[in-house]
A and B are shown apart, each in its own frame.
Chain A
Amino acid sequence: MPGVGEMEAAAAELNAQQAVGAVANALEKLVARNDLVTAATIAEEGGGKGRGVAAFRGLRRPAISIEKYMERIHSYSLCSPACFVVAFVYVDRAVHRRPDLLVGSLNVHRLMLTSVMVASKFFDVMAQSNAFYAKVGGVSNAELNNLEIELLCLLDFNVNVSSHEFESYLSHLEKEMLASKTHPNFANHSGIGGQQNYV
C-alpha cells in the first residue's frame, strides 16, 4: 500500500499557474461539449437548488471564466497547486459515479470551488475555513457547506488520491494542454470522461 504521504512528494514540484491552466483547459473543453447537450434538459428541469448533482447548478452562467475563477481561489486561499489537480480527480470520480452529472457552465464553478476546498482540507497542511472559501467563491457559507456534503456523498467519501493516480491525472492534463495549444479550437473527446485507465 502506498503511503498516504507519497502524493505530497509527487505534487511538491507543481507550479500554480501550470496546474490552474491545465485543469481549466480540460474543464473548458468539457463544458463546451456538455453545454450543447444540456441546454435542452435544463430548460426542462429548471435551475435552482436541488440535491445531489443538481445542487451545484446555478441559475445563470457566472461571468467569470473558470480559469480566472480558479486563479482567484488560488490567490486568496493560497491552497497548494496540487489541490486543483486533486479537485479535478474528485470531479472526474463524481462524474464516473453519476453519469447524470454533466459538468457544464452552470455548475462548473460551484463544483470546482467545493472540490478545491475539500482537496485542500484533505491535502494541505493548513486549510482555510469553509466561510473563507464561500467569500472567495461568491456563495453563501451555508450553501457551500451543503455543497461540501453533497460532494462527499457523491464521492462516497472516497477522498484519497494515490501518488500514482495523481501523476496519471497530471500527465493527462499536461498532454491535453499541449494538444489544445496545437489545435486551439479542437474540443476533443478525451476530456474528463475518457480516463477509465487512470481510475
Chain B
Amino acid sequence: MAVAASGQLNLDESPSWGSRGVDCFEKLEQIGEGTYGQVYMAKEIRTGEIVALKKIRMDNEREGFPITAIREIKILKKLQHQNVIQLKEIVTSPGPEKDEQGKPDGNKYKGSIYMVFEYMDHDLTGLADRPGMRFSVPQIKCYMRQLLTGLHYCHVNQVLHRDIKGSNLLIDNEGNLKLADFGLARSFSSEHNGNLTNRVITLWYRPPELLLGATKYGPAVDMWSVGCIFAELLHGKPILPGKNEPEQLTKIFELCGTPDEVNWPGVSKMPWYNNFKPAKPMKRRVRELFKHFDRHALELLERMLMLDPSQRISAKDALDAEYFWADPLPCDPKSLPKYESSHEFQTKKKRQQQRQHEEMAKRQKLQHPQPHARLPPIQQTGQPHPQMWPGPGQPIHNAQPQMAAGPSHHYGKPRGPSGGPNRYPQGGNPGGGYNPNHPNRGGQGGGYSGGPYPQQGRGPPYAGGNMPGAGGPRGGGGGGSGAGYGAAAGNYPQGGPYGASGANRGPNMGANRNQYNWQ
C-alpha cells in the first residue's frame, strides 16, 4: 500500500475533504445573481486577497456533479496564461451531517462546491455599455491583442473556447483582459476527429459553419466570434444580432455574401446547407458597411469574417496583422483608464433611480441620451481624449464626470435595438428545460454576467434535437447570473428532462432522453 512521505499528508485535517473549506473566505457581496448560480466577491481571510467565488450548482440528482464543471475544471487547470482567467482552487462547504444508512436520502450531498477565480472588475460588454463610454483606438487594439494572445494560447493547447463574447472577456483595473467561462470549452486534437456539437457559441457570435450544421470544426469558430467582437468595438453595437438561427444566417449572408462552392469549397455538402440555401445570391458588403473603419482594421476584420473557416485568419496570424503594428499602436494596459467597479447589490438602487429618472425625462419629452447606444470609438489618433485619458494628476473618476457609477458588467441593460425582441426568442425551443418565465431577464443582471446579454444561451452543448430550424432560445435566461465566470445556468445542463424547475435551460435536453451528452 502506498505510504506518503511523512509530512506530506496531514491526517488530522478534516478527514473528509481534500479541498479547503469555503470558510477560508469571507463573502463580501454577491456580484452575480441568477436562478441557477451565484458569483460572489470574497476575501481570503488569511491573505486579504479579493477573489470571485462561483458556486457550482448540483441540483440535478441524476447528473450529479455537472459534467461541464468537470470539463471546465480540467481545462482551466491546464491553462496558465496572463490572458486566461486563473482558477485558483476549488473549495467546498460541507453539507449537514448525513443520516445513518438505511435512509435512502440520508447521504444526499447538500454542501456546495465553489470555484475560486481571481477577481476581475469588469467585463468587456459591461464596460462598453457604460453610458458615455467611448473606447479609444489604442485601447481597442490593446484589448484585441490581449484577446488574440489568450485565444492563441488556448488554440496552441488544443482548447476551443466555444463561447467567445464580450461578457466572457473580463477586464481588471490594470487593463488586463482575460478569457473566462470555459464551461463550453472543449479540447480538440488534430488526429482525433470526433464529432462535436454545433450547438455552441452565443448566437450573435456563432460562425456560419456551425449554423450550417458542421460537427467537425476547429479554432476558426472562435476566430469568427473574435471578428464579431472586433467589429462591435469599432462599430459601437453588435453587428449580427439575429433573433434565431435562420435569421442569424441571413444576417451573416447580408454582410458577408452568400456562400457558394467558389468562395467556400464544400459548403454545399454542409448538413443544413439546403435548408438555408439563400434564394438569391448576395455579394459581400463588409467593406461597404464598415467603410468608416480604418484601413488596417477593415483588412483584419475581412479576414476574421471569412465564411469559409479554412480561409479564416488564425489567432497567431491576426496578431501579426498590420493593424497591431501600425499607428496608433496598442497602448500599454496599465495606461488605460481605471473605471469604477461596481456590482449588482450596490448598483441596483442606482439603476432603479436612473430608470425612474429616464422615465420621467421621457414623460416630459426631454431629450435624454439613449443609454444603450454605444458611441463608436474615437477615430482620431494620437490625441489623448480628455474623457478617456486623464492626465497624471487628474483624479480618474473626475475625468468622466458624466458617467454614472454604473456597473461595468452589463447589468440589466437591454442590448441591441431598444425595445427590441429578446435576443433568444422562445419559439422553436425543441426541448424542455428552458424556463419560459424568464424570457428576458435583463433586469436582474448581475455583475458577471449576463443580464441582458447573451444570456446565453449557450446552446447547450448537449443538444439533442438536430432540426436546424429549431432556433432555440439558446439563451433564454440566466438573467444576471454571473456571466463572465460562467455562473449562468446554461453552463450546466443539469436540468434535463427532469428539471421541472427549469434548472436546465439547455433547450434540447428534453428531447434527449437517453442521457448521452454530446460535446
Contacts and interface: CB of A to CB of B under 8 A. Distances in A.
**Bound pair: A and B?**
yes
Nearest to A152: B65
Interface string B98-115: 101100111111010100
**Interface of A (DSSP majority class):** helix
A90 to B, nearest CB: 12
A192 B61 contact: no
B78 interface: yes
B157 A126 contact: no
Contact of B191 (A9, A117, A121, A143): A9
Interface in B484-498: 496
**Interface of B (DSSP majority class):** loop
A149 to B, nearest CB: 5
A124 B120 CA distance: 33
Contact of A146 (B78, B90, B107, B113): B107
A148 B92 CA distance: 13
A127 B67 contact: yes
A136 interface: no
B108 A142 contact: yes
B62 interface: yes
**Contact-size category for B:** 35 or more
Contacts of A140: 104, 107
Contact of B515 (A3, A96, A128): A128
B9 A98 contact: yes
Contact of B70 (A9, A118, A150): A118
B274 to A, nearest CB: 27
Contacts of B65: 118, 121, 130, 145, 148-149, 152
A143 B106 CA distance: 9
A4 B67 contact: no
B158 to A, nearest CB: 4
Given A5-B158, A52-B17, A126-B516, A159 B70 contact: yes
B417 interface: no
Nearest to B62: A131
A184 interface: no
B63 interface: yes
A3 B63 contact: no
Contacts of A153: 16-19, 92
Among A37, A92, A100, find the residue whose CB has the most chain B CB atoms closer than 10 A.
A100
Given A52-B17, A129-B62, A159-B74, A3 B517 contact: no
A129 B67 CA distance: 9
B64 interface: yes
A9 B518 CA distance: 19
A40 interface: no
Interface string B45-77: 000000000000010011111010011011101
Contact of B90 (A52, A157, A192): A157
Contact of B18 (A37, A100, A156): A156
B192 A9 contact: yes
Given A1-B78, A4-B157, A48-B100, A148 B64 contact: yes
A125 B518 contact: yes
A138 interface: no
B18 A97 contact: yes
Contacts of A117: 64
Contact of A129 (B3, B105, B515): B515
A158 B515 CA distance: 25
Contacts of B262: none
Contacts of B77: 157-158, 160
B381 to A, nearest CB: 38
B195 interface: yes
A117 B192 CA distance: 22
A30 B1 CA distance: 8
A119 B436 CA distance: 35
A157 B19 contact: yes
Contacts of B70: 118, 121-122, 159
Given A48-B100, A126-B517, A131-B62, A145 B109 contact: yes
Contacts of B71: 121-122
11 contacts: A5-B192, A8-B189, A37-B1, A51-B16, A99-B4, A100-B11, A128-B516, A143-B107, A157-B73, A159-B73, A192-B2
Given A9-B192, A49-B100, A130-B64, 10 more contacts: A5-B192, A8-B194, A52-B15, A125-B194, A130-B62, A131-B61, A142-B61, A146-B107, A159-B70, A193-B2
Interface of A: 1, 3-6, 8-9, 12, 30, 33-34, 37, 48-49, 51-52, 55, 59, 92, 95-100, 102, 117-118, 121-122, 125-132, 140-146, 148-150, 152-160, 192-194, 196
Q: Which 3 A-B pairs have the closest CB atoms?
A: A5-B189, A193-B2, A4-B187
